[in-house]
Amino acid sequence: MKCFLIFILVLSIGESLNKFLKHYEPLNYQPTDLNRVSRSTDEKIRLNFHAYDRDFKLILERVHEKDSVFLKDAIMEYENKTEKIEWEDNIFKGMIEGDDNSYVSGSINHGIFEGVIETSNGEEFWIESSYPYNSTLSLRIHIIQRHLFILSYIQQMIGNRFYDRRLHDNDRDGDQLYSPYKTEHSRQPEPHKRNTENKRRPYLICEDELKGKGLHSQSLLKKPQHKRETVSMDENGIWRNRICTLKIMIDHTLYEYVFNGAGRGDASATRSELKTMMENQLKLVNKIYEKIDFGGITGIHFKIAGFRFYTKANDIANPFVKETTISQTFLDWHSASDFSEYCLSYVFTYRDFDQDTLGLAFSCDACTKAGAHNGRVSHNTGMVTFRSNERQRHLTLAHELGHSLGSDHDHQPLASGKLESEVYPECDSDGKTGHYIMYPNANDGKKANHHLLSVCSIRNITRNLKRLLAIDPKLKHPQQTNCFISESTPICGNLIIEEGEVCDCGHNEQECLDQRDQCCWHGDHNLKCQLKSTAYECSPTQGSCCSENCKFKGASVICAGEKDCTATTYCLPGNYTCPASKPINNGLPCDDATGNALQQQTCPNFPIGITLKKDDGDIPDY
């Protein structure tokens, strides 16, 4: 009876929840208990439900940590706290039972699946919470939307039926949902106009607008003399590092929106939900970019190296405290910070901007340094607002990242006065196949080209990547470097001591001072992540048994207090790390009697609820 009442409640809203969502069905099924599935195995689970007059039988498996969009040493910052981002195993991928060429991707939170289901015959189903469309509904009410794609054309264009596909339930192709920009010498992104006077091609923008010494100088392109490298070159002199690192910022409007919605009023749950949202968005974006051949350069993708939350509007450190409906002003606030340590930095918000702008970014500025275009501001930046449904967001992000990597809009005027699409008809679009990703206005996602970069966009990004990836990653330049990394590249400044590092206190001097560490060179120094003096014994970032005067604390100093399951622990002579604590109170209650102390020094919670046994050899069915 309860499910039936929920069903009626959703239907009573009508045919449209908002201007973005017109056709949907309510979705009701038994929430999945993830605790029933072992986190230490590759065990698969089933998820069954009924929608659109058909039974869905999904077979899901967790995405491994190595496949996460977060770097293994990614850092999260919030409310004056800095900590390593812990892997959360709620991201899943899979298929529809009986449809080997189907694809499923999404997350499970509070036992509810959200994501996309793609069938082999071109059908696509998006499942998401109804809360973003109507905040009066229960958080457990979800909606599913159906879309039929032109599969044969997709296969012809990319040869892979699993390539990204997006939806936007708008009947008009190219609805003005965001207004990107043209690039001027002033470096000010402006609302785009179809007949802009910008005559320059994006690959010329990359080279012309960088001031000072050109990046194609022999000093920057020379081969390294180091014997050991974390990345290598191919036969064409292109370095094989393919990861563009991101610093993600969440402003207080998006944080509050999630806190009051899917976060259920809990700060920890809100941060977890936002991390999941970014994981899902970037996975879809990476599906677009990593399969494209940029002139022999493949595997380009994005990973998050830093994640910062601004939780309150009155936070003195919050650069977004003021109100604005002007997207350029908002991006300027973000660009006032120094993001030189990252390939790109994007801020995500829930603001409603003028002209229905959904995203904005500077063109061709990946890996540029703060002040590269005069002043002290960064231009390796962009912004996206989540004032749209989930299907629209990664489309917007893919568009803005295309700008950052070197592509202008499709249909740009050339020096001859002709449109690029007139000179290169393969970059043009028609009513049947639709506009490409880099079209100035938003696509609705219903046509084949809406999820593809045009040949012109690929060519322009290729020119920029070949220029950028020809630079030795170890060489510094005051304007732009090859900052792409490989999975094994250590990052000095992330507060994690990695191979080749003695210590790690932060990216710059101020960050090291914030860590109360004056013993270690910061990431911007030539001797980065090394002790400043041979007379120093240690750095506080190496361990809690090192003092601020760079000396070992000694055996009489407590480094870990007594807890329910572990004894007081003291530093060891001549050592900066705190030794492992000894277990105590074995078998006695701990954590306010919610668990028992064990010899393994852990305090597991008592099991609550029913433990289910799996069928022999079968996949758990929920």
Q: Per the annotation, where are the binding residues for Zn(2+)?
A: 399, 403, 409
CA 469 vs CA 150, 201, 234, 304, 354: distances in Å: 36, 20, 11, 20, 37
- Read off the amino acid at residue 594: T
Q: Which two structure tokens, joined as six digits, stand for 417?
A: 């006065």
DSSP string, 550-587: SSB--TTSEEE---SSB--EEPPTT--SPPPPPB-STT
Cβ atoms of 606 and 594 closer than 8 Å: yes
At residue 364, what is the residue type?
C
- Catalytic residue, from 114, 400, 420, 501: name it: 400
Residues linked to residue 326 through DSSP beta bridges, in sequence order: none
Per the listing, tokens 């914030």 go with 514
**How is residue 57 written in tokens?**
């039988």
Q: Which DSSP string corresponds to 156-223?
A: HHHS-TTS-------SSTT--S-------TT-------TT------HHHHHHHSS-SS-TT-HHHHSP
User: Is position 562 annotated as part of the catalytic site?
Assistant: no
Pairing of strands 558-560, 589-590: unpaired
Cα 330 to Cα 382: distance, rounded to the nearest angstrom: 10
**Measuring CA to CA, how many Å separate 290 from each of 10, 164, 168?**
38, 11, 23
Q: Give the torsion sign (CA, 123, 396, 489, 64).
A: negative
Strand intervals (E) in 330-374 = 344-349, 359-361
Cα angle at 132 between 127 and 138, to 5 degrees?
A: 80
Whose tokens are 């500077």? That residue is 362
Active site residues: 400
